[in-house]
Structure 1
Amino acid sequence: MLTLYGCYRSRASRPLWLLTEIGMEFAHRPVIQAYRLADPDAADAPDNTRSPSFLAVNPLGQIPALTDGDLVLTESLAICLHIARAYGGVVGPTNLAEQALMEQWALFALAMIEGPAIEILYADAASDAGKATILAEAGKLMRPFARLEAHLTGRDWLLDRFSVADIMVAECVRYAQGHAPLMQAHPTLSAWLERCHARPAFQAMWAGRMAEPA
């Protein structure tokens, strides 16, 4: 059985959404980030990214991580691609061309969207410095968002059906959705993100996330 390490309030949200989408049984160890604990090394501390048992899985001390038999993966998008290829059915690739496209969208999301989007998510919109950061990072997203806007025109999903590509890209775009002018400038992309978030599997994942302490 697959074992996924990581809490919902982390990049583990990506494989958690995917696993819920395909209805696959798996073991979940909700390892949390050590920085969220007053004393992550305490004897009674919950399973966290500094716990020896988790460091034996991922010496970098980062979540998520996945074990599938002898295979150990420690990057969220690699985890999603593996699950989709091995167990995802139509959510995964059905041929080599689709596999290449899903890998391309994963790399696109990571290289072009995630960094600036996270900066927007954590910027203090009430401060002048935070406002400046948001404007600067939103500017970096104009080209990749325009690419998505054009690609999604006339289609519901990134491929010819909902797939792991939508999960991986949507989870990166989500970080920037709080900046309304950016999303309003890309209505087709915004509508696609709403479709992604309306899926029962996303809603189930999000309920798990909201149930965790912030």
Structure 2
Amino acid sequence: MLTIHGVTRSRASRIIWLCHEIGLEFRQVPVIQAYRLPDPEAADAPLNTRSPAFLRLSPAGAVPVLQDDGLVLSESMACTLYLAGKYGAPFGPADAAENAQMMQWSFYAATAIEPDALTLLFLSASAKPDDRAICETAVERLIRPLSVVEDHLNHHGQMVAGRFTVADINMAEVIRYAQGQAELMARFPAISAWLSDCQARPAFRKMWEARLAEPE
């Protein structure tokens, strides 16, 4: 059976969401991020990204990790693209051109959007002036890539091929990090409507309920 190593409050959420869309059964091993623990190396610490057992599986010490038929794969978007390619349309590519487009938008999300979106997720609640300045810069930097996605959605409705695919999952899970920035999101009505539709899907709701059930 497919195994996903990582708590749902991590980038494992992308893989879990896709598995629910496909209807793919999986086993989840709840490996928690070490930075969330007071002492990840304590004898009674839960399984985490510094645990020797996990490091043998993932020397990088990062979740998620996917195991499937002898394959051990890290990097969340590599995992979702692998599963989408293995199981094919409608969530995966129907041909080489769709495969390339799904990779294009996934990589764009990871490189052009995710770093600044994560900055907003982690620092937006901070009262420190320096953190507020960092967030203001992150918002400014996001305007250009989000404008690209906004224009694309206005013309095509979905990220690839006019249907919901793994590219929508990968992009939506990245933009979600900035979703709490109401003023920023108000500038992008097509993204906001598309994101709302993505998050209304039963597979997302199932993943999200499991995520909320985990300790913060």
Distance 1:72 1:117 in 2: 28
Q: How does 1:58-97 map to 2 (within 5 A)?
A: 58-97=58-97
Distance 2:185 2:88 in 1: 30
Q: Secondary structure at the match of 1:178?
A: coil
Unaligned runs of 5+ in 1: none
What is the identity percentage for the equivalent residue pairs of Structure 1 and Structure 2?
A: 51
Q: How does 1:97-176 map to 2 (within 5 A)?
A: 97-125=97-125, 126-159=127-160, 160-176=162-178
Q: How does 1:33-72 map to 2 (within 5 A)?
A: 33-72=33-72
Q: Which residue of 1 aligns with 2:2?
A: 2
Count of residues paired in the alignment: 214
Distance 1:18 1:169 in 2: 13
Q: Secondary structure at the match of 1:56?
A: helix
Distance 1:155 1:142 in 2: 20
8 A Cα contact 2:88 2:94, kept in partner: no
Q: Which residue of 2 aligns with 1:194?
A: 196
Deviates more, 1:35-44 or 1:84-93: 35-44
TM-score between the two structures when normalised by the length of structure 1: 0.95
CA pair 133-39 structure 1, distance change in 2 beyond 3 A:
closer
Distance 2:110 2:42 in 1: 35
Letter in 1 for 2:3: T
Q: Secondary structure at the match of 2:50?
A: coil
Distance 2:95 2:146 in 1: 27
CA displacement, residues 113-160 of structure 1 (integer Å, 9 cap, x when unaligned): 000100111114444323222211011111111111111114431121
Letter in 2 for 1:150: D
Letter in 2 for 1:149: E
Q: Secondary structure at the match of 1:91?
A: coil
Distance 1:124 1:146 in 2: 21
Letter in 2 for 1:105: W
Letter in 1 for 2:209: A
Distance 1:92 1:137 in 2: 31
Letter in 2 for 1:107: F
Letter in 1 for 2:23: G
Q: Secondary structure at the match of 1:207?
A: helix
Q: Secondary structure at the match of 2:152?
A: helix
Q: Secondary structure at the match of 1:73?
A: strand
Q: Which residue of 1 aligns with 2:184?
A: 182
Q: Could you tell me how far 1:38 is from its partner in structure 2?
A: 2.9
Q: Which residue of 1 aligns with 2:27?
A: 27
CA RMSD of aligned residues (A): 1.4
Q: Could you tell me how far 1:88 is from its partner in structure 2?
A: 4.6
CA pair 195-5 structure 1, distance change in 2 beyond 3 A:
same
Deviates more, 1:123-132 or 1:90-99: 123-132
Letter in 2 for 1:161: R
8 A Cα contact 1:22 1:88, kept in partner: no
Distance 1:156 1:149 in 2: 10
Unaligned runs of 5+ in 2: none
Q: Could you tell me how far 1:109 is from its partner in structure 2?
A: 0.4
